[in-house]
Amino acid sequence: MRAAILLVLGICPLAARAQSDYSDKDFSVRMASAFIRFTEVSTLGGETVANRFSSAINPASAGWFALPGKLGLVVSPYYSTIGFDEGSRLHVMGESLTWDTRSWGAFQPTLSQIRSNNSTGRDGLSFDYEVDIAQIQWGKRFGNFGLGACFNFARAEVGRKGTITETVMGMPLPLKVDSEGTAESYRWRFGALFQPADKWLLGSIFEYGFQPFRNTTRITIPAPPPIGPMTASTCDSGLQQQFILRPGVSYEYAPMSTVYADYQYAAFFNHSDTLNSHLFAAGIEHRVLEWLFVRAGPTIDVRCNVGLTCGVSCFISKWCSFDIGYQYNMLSELRPEFGRANTLQATLAFRL
């Protein structure tokens, strides 16, 4: 048995092969693929790199339109909860500030925190997951072009404790497991927007990131007297890397109503395994009333995992709005350990 490490931001539990489309890949590379979507909030414009409003995926979107208000400031707290079929739940809190400098583009610093409910998974081990994230984005428009850049730093701690059963010489043997690990994540994302013609918008992002990680696992094996329990420890460390490329296009078929389509290729690799991910996304956002927007769209990867995202944006006044989003099965990489994911998101925006 070996202790595997969580990656992108954490440490992986003992790698267990479950029956799933992704069960042939190590948990560390699968966790990295899922982690990039933990803090991506569904807001106005949809989940596309060709977004005129939201910078959740493309940092260039932060500076595409000038912000209203005398100060050019937007304060946006947000919260999302990610619940899995097996009982694990992640709570994601964030605090974001966008400042339109008028001349130098828009800057958007963000702090985020991820906490788990320390539930027990299918393998009988608890999952205690804590992540703190700091991010800074910049975006600026130059006529029909827009450019943006983002730096994201995160630090994670993961603990797994409990008892598992292994079969030795045809007999079940209970093993007490205590695993602790830490990881840091450094990610750089660059984005661009281009308007080739009226109502059309092309977007793309490229990201590179790396995550050094460390993990220690202690396994206690029961034994009768006079020998008594025996404890063995394993340590692991290494470096994980990732590349992401995502182009997309959107078309404004009516005032502030759009359809979009994206393709994302990503590679995640460390000394244990490599995951090449291909994801296709499409969607529509429609302006129902002057102050009300609705959106929905599916995603599908090359392993035929289908997800769904939808949401609503409401502009209460010129200085306040809120967004509510829902995602289903958007984290299929984690299904072997935790089951399907249901995500609820809520965002407030105050314009000053």
Give the model confidence (pLDDT) of 126-175 as tens digits: 788 899 999 999 999 999 999 999 999 999 998 888 777 776 666 677 77
pLDDT digits (tens, 9 = 90+) for 288-311: 999 999 999 999 999 999 999 999
The CA distance from 229 to 293, in Å, is 62
Tell whether 47 is covered by a domain: yes
Tell whether 1 is covered by a domain: no
Tell whether 16 is covered by a domain: no
Rounded mean pLDDT, 264-287: 95
**Tokens of residue 75, six digits:** 């304060």
To the nearest 10°, the Cα dihedral for 51, 73, 152, 278?
-10
Tell whether 347 is covered by a domain: no
CB 53 within 8 A of CB 98: no
Task: Tell me which of 118 and 3 has the higher pLDDT.
Answer: 118
Rounded mean pLDDT, 111-116: 96
**Tokens of residue 342, six digits:** 């249901």
Range with the poorest average pLDDT among 196-210, 222-236, 252-266: 222-236
Domain interval for residue 317: 27-339
User: What is the pLDDT confidence band of residue 93, given thresholds at 50, 70 and 90?
Assistant: very high
User: What is the pLDDT confidence band of residue 22, given thresholds at 50, 70 and 90?
Assistant: confident
pLDDT for position 23: 84
pTM (predicted TM-score): 0.87
Tell whether 193 is covered by a domain: yes
Domain with residue 212: its CATH number is 2.40.160.60
For residue 336, give the H/E element and its range: helix 335-338
pLDDT digits (tens, 9 = 90+) for 34-84: 999 888 877 889 999 999 999 999 999 999 999 887 899 999 999 999 999
pLDDT for position 167: 67
Tell whether 101 is covered by a domain: yes
With CA atoms as reference, report the closest residue to 9 among 105, 122, 135: 135
Q: How many folded domains does the chain comprise? A: 1
pLDDT for position 15: 32
Tell whether 17 is covered by a domain: no
Tell whether 15 is covered by a domain: no
The CA distance from 39 to 156, in Å, is 14
The CA distance from 41 to 327, in Å, is 10
